[in-house]
Structure 1
Amino acid sequence: MDYNRLAELLFPNVTETPEQVEARYPARDLPEGAKVTRMAPSPTGFMHLGNLFGAVVDERLAHQSGGVFYLRIEDTDKKREVEGGVQLILETFKTFGLPFDEGATIDGDNGAYGPYRQSQRAAIYHVFVKDLVKRGYAYPCFCTEEELAEMRAQQEANKENFGYYGKYAKYRDCPLEEIEKRLAEGQSYVVRFRSPGSIEHKVRHTDLVKGNLELTENDQDIVLLKSDGIPTYHFAHVVDDHLMHTTHVVRGEEWLATLPVHLQLFDVMGWKRPKYVHTAQLMKMDGGSKRKLSKRKDPELALTYYYQQGIPVPAVMEYLMTLLNSNFEEWRRANQTASINDFPFSPKKMSVSGSLFDMEKLRDVSKNVISRMTAEEVYDFVSAWSADNDPEFHDLFVRDPEMTRKFLAIGRGGKKPRKDLAFWSETKAYMDFMFPELFQPDYSGMPESTKDDAKAILTEYQDIYDPADDMSAWFDKVKTLADQHGFAPETKLYKKNPDAYKGPVGDISMVLRVAICGRTNAPDLYSVMQLMDQDEINRRLTAACDAL
């Protein structure tokens, strides 16, 4: 076979050499040990938790080592591409605080190693496929869909491996004359890789998560270029990762089955293999068994879900880190106020088996994350979220920013901060009683011990309440009121002799709390009342009296 002649037949317009292409992509000027990673999604209009899961690994490996984290758009499958898909990708990762150092932008590129869209790199792929043809590692295949289906049926009947290989590789050794004839007739073809492998051989590989692996060598003549001249993922990502000097490829473990193909391609091309980091799948409990998160069944797989539900971005990132590194929670307990970026992330601490996604655990993590935020930060987050997702509440929330911020500051900070909020969507229910328009009291929480005295307590309290009182004076009045109605003015007195009193002073506080807040569970009552207009307080005390 005259491979040079075949290469010219298939690629008459390709004049550039691999060496000339390589010269346009010089080695990166980075410190020793710096890692280069990439996020390479397809613009399908759907960004899922798995994308973010892998991207966190990419970003940490790159930025902890002084390296580069870049965005490449794998848009060779035009059938799956949606309008605005690239913009969604960029906005999503900006939202989750994963900054790309270079790569595709909405309308172009940022960086010296582009184009960063595979659809714009066809000429580059053709240079390297032509070179493979010249070296006898690629050839045209004219198989029709019917022929491929017939081949598969025969393999199934013979209980043989499926695929295009060995005796089933019909056009692997097709004579040059026949190829010329078919090309002259305008027959459609793909370009396949002529695999030098055999399933009798094993490939040894060390994955940074899975450890030492022994895999069956690839013997499949996979498609390199489709009939439209567009490359398959298998070939395109190998060329791109080489030219862009990617040092670490992070991807889901579902790609392990094709790893022998990719390693073989790197070897045949004469290129250094990158290190591979195959992350475990995200699982969830379904009854008594685990299953993979599903786009159809699980709304929490979509990244848009987290914003719609008001789940804070820092909480999502913190929770993902608990799934990614087994020692993160221990580190967090010892470094409660440190930035998540200070955590020494390591692929060696990643789970080899599936990572179990648990929404309740995410809630707990989120409560802790929010409890560490300042009132100002919470205000800004809720303001932005409510503007998009609950405009009516948003108008109330920002109507008096000073009052809202002071309310959010109640119980915040210190060694034991309040942990009322897990999601921004819960803010409305948490503080609705602060807005007369939303106040819907539930008086059923009045202590049973105060049944006969509640009306009198509420009426008398209107005469003694003074917003100028400090907390000590305020509580002294509550204790006096308790004593006058037969309740213990001190909790310790009640504990010492409970039969001598109708109840403890806390029961009087609860009467006031239920009347003013409309519920039994609310932040510190004194602090809440300091933020309320006195007329509104009196209206609520009177309304509670009337209701009782």
Structure 2
Amino acid sequence: MDHNKLAELLFPHIDKTMEEYLTEIYPPRNLPQGAMVTRFAPSPTGFLHIGGLFTALVNERLAHQSGGRIILRIEDTDKKREVEDGITGIVSGLRDFGVEFDEGMMSQTEEKGDYGPYQQSRRGPIYQAFCKELVKRGLAYPCFCTEEDLAAIRKQQEAEKALPGYHTTYARCRDLTMEQVEENIKAGKPYVMRLRSPGKPGGRIKYKDVIRGEIEMDENIADIVLLKTDGIPTYHFAHAVDDTLMGTTHVVRSDEWVSSVPTHLQLFYVLGLKPPKYAHVSPVMKEDNGAKRKLSKRKDPEAAVSYFVDEGYPKEAVLEYLLNLANSPFEDWRRQNKTAPYQDYKLQLNKMSQSGALFDLVKLADVSAGVIGAFDAEKVTKDVLEWAKGHDEQLYALLNRDTDYAQGIFAIDRGGKKPRKDIRKWSDVRDYVSYFYDETWQGEYDLPENLQKEDMIAILDTYAKAYEEAPDKNTWFDGVKAICEGLGFCPEVKAYKQDPTGWKGHVGDVSNVVRVAITGRKNSPDLWSIMTLLGKERSLSRLRKMKEFLAK
């Protein structure tokens, strides 16, 4: 067989060589020593999964903390499964959570960077040039087998209890003559391009996974498809070509690809290329009836990143939580570095779980409450408005009507060593601010159970008559203490606890009645701050309304 002649027969339109792509068109990157080049390479076949965001974040951190680059490459070679605007969904989903890429697809049609195109469907001639080189080396050949032929091979292998697949003596087109190939092409028979695998039955390979350590597996013996009948590559071949040309140093991807490593390493070997380092990330898991399972696109709404956008989890909180899942030491680091940006943490691949991190919405809510608690009032106002604009029109209208007033709400109890954690996500804000607006104030009361109605009415009546706008919290509380004894309540909590006899309660009970009148709740942020923001007239009106409610 004249392999050069075969290569020209199969690829007459390919005028660039593999060597030209490797040295001239895609020259090596000029990056600092130790810099990682990573990539996130999703297929536009559905929504962005939380596991995808997790993997993208790991890739982004590794690249940027090492002074390297991260690429967003779209692997769209399977056109049958592609969804409309699939790239837009991926790009916007990643952007919503602040995962920034240095190069790659920036929208459905736009890209940036010098190593594109970043859509595999637009790189056809590149793959064909590499395949042409393999044909010249006698390492690739055209396969004209039909579906019926492949079915017959499978049936024969079953009967002979042989390893399934297109390999060794079962690879019918492997040794076609030049004349047979020419005849088939002239007859218009469709064909795929296959690898002439150098693997041997029983052969083994070893490789070191950065997360999982040393792994030994059977080597690939299958003559895998390199190019489909339309000239578009399979994932395996495209992966080897693209990661080489784009200078990828570390392939960090889902553990479902572990079984493909022998094939991928073999492709790098036959092409004469250096493979990247592999790190296979375990899937994000969920606890279900005491057992762990993968998050399901079908069963679990939180599997889609859009869930977290709709619920209003700040991107900072989601990223913090995902880093917590990625590296367990992150939690201790955060406790010691409360105000440091998460980018200061050095992510370590060898600290990643091999069994799959458990995604816990309760834990996420706790992390998110802490993150929001550390925001200043201006940021909370801005972020809530941005979220509400697309998810809660009434809330947006209320807050946007007077943003200074809104910022005043969020400023209460914010800052300090122990900020409140009432807000876990932006969808909680509607309830959180409800008593600050007359339109949403329900006039419903979570009444103290330890007090009689008559005593609560007396407290409200006496406090309303003595009401004065106080310049600070301490002055206000002194005013509450001043009415206690006349109502039969101890003005000092400590004194009451030492001798509760003779008292109906203490100053905390008195202030709690006022709190319920103003907010409807027994638990709220600082009451003096709330009343100051509401103003005297509205505060007195609330006291009267609760008194009327109790008097019915």
TM-score > 0.5, shorter chain as reference: yes
Q: Who is 2:511 aligned against? A: 509
How far apart in 1 are the matches of 2:410 and 2:111?
42
Question: Offset at 1:421?
Answer: 1.1
| Cα distance change on mapping 1:131 and 1:398 into 2, 3 Å | same
Q: For the Cα contact (< 8 Å) 2:210–2:277, is it kept in 1?
A: yes
| Structure 2 gap ranges (5+) | none
Q: After superposition, where does 1:297-312 map in structure 2 within 5 Å?
A: 297-312=299-314
Q: For the Cα contact (< 8 Å) 2:60–2:99, is it kept in 1?
A: yes
Q: Who is 1:349 aligned against? A: 351
Q: After superposition, where does 1:62-461 map in structure 2 within 5 Å?
A: 62-106=63-107, 107-461=109-463
Question: Offset at 1:158?
Answer: 4.2
Question: Does structure 1 residue 29 correspond to structure 2 residue 30?
Answer: yes
Deviations 1:320-355 (A, max 9, x none): 001111210111111111000000111111111111
Q: Report the secondary structure of 2:273's partner residue.
A: coil
- AA partner of residue 88 (structure 1): G
How far apart in 2 are the matches of 1:198 and 1:426?
61
Structure 1 range deviating more: 258-267 or 470-479: 470-479
Q: Report the secondary structure of 2:525's partner residue.
A: coil
How far apart in 2 are the matches of 1:483 and 1:454?
14
How far apart in 2 are the matches of 1:357 and 1:199?
41
Identity over aligned pairs, percent = 52
Q: Report the secondary structure of 2:431's partner residue.
A: helix
Question: Offset at 1:468?
Answer: 4.1
How far apart in 2 are the matches of 1:162 and 1:485?
89
- AA partner of residue 323 (structure 1): L
| Cα distance change on mapping 1:103 and 1:443 into 2, 3 Å | closer
Deviations 1:84-110 (A, max 9, x none): 222232222222112211222333331
Q: For the Cα contact (< 8 Å) 1:486–1:502, is it kept in 2?
A: yes
Q: For the Cα contact (< 8 Å) 1:447–1:511, is it kept in 2?
A: no
Q: For the Cα contact (< 8 Å) 1:441–1:514, is it kept in 2?
A: no
Q: For the Cα contact (< 8 Å) 1:487–1:502, is it kept in 2?
A: yes
Question: Offset at 1:248?
Answer: 0.7
Question: Offset at 1:150?
Answer: 3.0
Question: Offset at 1:151?
Answer: 2.6
How far apart in 1 are the matches of 2:373 and 2:531?
22
Question: Offset at 1:469?
Answer: 4.3
- AA partner of residue 368 (structure 2): S
- AA partner of residue 406 (structure 1): G
Q: Who is 1:19 aligned against? A: 19
Deviations 1:352-404 (A, max 9, x none): 11111111111111111111111111111111011110011111122222222
Q: Who is 2:544 aligned against? A: 542
How far apart in 1 are the matches of 2:495 and 2:470?
29
Question: Offset at 1:45?
Answer: 4.3
Question: Offset at 1:157?
Answer: 4.5
Structure 1 range deviating more: 98-107 or 49-58: 98-107
Question: Offset at 1:521?
Answer: 1.5
Q: Report the secondary structure of 2:74's partner residue.
A: coil
How far apart in 1 are the matches of 2:157 and 2:439?
71
Structure 1 range deviating more: 320-329 or 100-109: 100-109
Count of aligned pairs between the two proteins = 548
| Cα distance change on mapping 1:495 and 1:149 into 2, 3 Å | same
How far apart in 1 are the matches of 2:299 and 2:161?
34
Question: Offset at 1:480?
Answer: 2.1
Q: For the Cα contact (< 8 Å) 2:446–2:522, is it kept in 1?
A: no
How far apart in 2 are the matches of 1:188 and 1:121?
21
Q: Who is 1:486 aligned against? A: 488
How far apart in 2 are the matches of 1:312 and 1:337?
16
Q: Report the secondary structure of 1:499's partner residue.
A: coil
Structure 1 range deviating more: 22-31 or 258-267: 22-31
Q: Who is 2:62 aligned against? A: 61
Deviations 1:172-230 (A, max 9, x none): 11222222211111011111111101241111101110111111101111110001111
Task: Give the alignment's TM-score, normalised by structure 1.
Answer: 0.97
How far apart in 1 are the matches of 2:439 and 2:157?
71
Question: Offset at 1:167?
Answer: 2.4
- AA partner of residue 96 (structure 2): T
Deviations 1:266-293 (A, max 9, x none): 0110001101111111111110211111
How far apart in 1 are the matches of 2:450 and 2:546?
15
How far apart in 1 are the matches of 2:158 and 2:402?
72
| Cα distance change on mapping 1:112 and 1:469 into 2, 3 Å | closer
Q: Report the secondary structure of 1:392's partner residue.
A: helix
Q: Who is 1:527 aligned against? A: 529
- AA partner of residue 18 (structure 1): M
How far apart in 1 are the matches of 2:500 and 2:238?
79
| Cα distance change on mapping 1:158 and 1:437 into 2, 3 Å | farther
- AA partner of residue 17 (structure 2): T
- AA partner of residue 174 (structure 1): L
Task: Give the alignment's TM-score, normalised by structure 2.
Answer: 0.96
Q: Report the secondary structure of 1:54's partner residue.
A: helix
Question: Offset at 1:415?
Answer: 1.4
Q: For the Cα contact (< 8 Å) 1:37–1:62, is it kept in 2?
A: yes
Q: Report the secondary structure of 2:454's partner residue.
A: coil
Q: For the Cα contact (< 8 Å) 1:45–1:84, is it kept in 2?
A: no
How far apart in 1 are the matches of 2:84 and 2:372?
35
How far apart in 2 are the matches of 1:458 and 1:479?
14
How far apart in 1 are the matches of 2:200 and 2:425?
54
Question: Offset at 1:25?
Answer: 0.9
Q: Who is 1:8 aligned against? A: 8
Q: For the Cα contact (< 8 Å) 1:450–1:508, is it kept in 2?
A: no
Q: Report the secondary structure of 2:435's partner residue.
A: helix
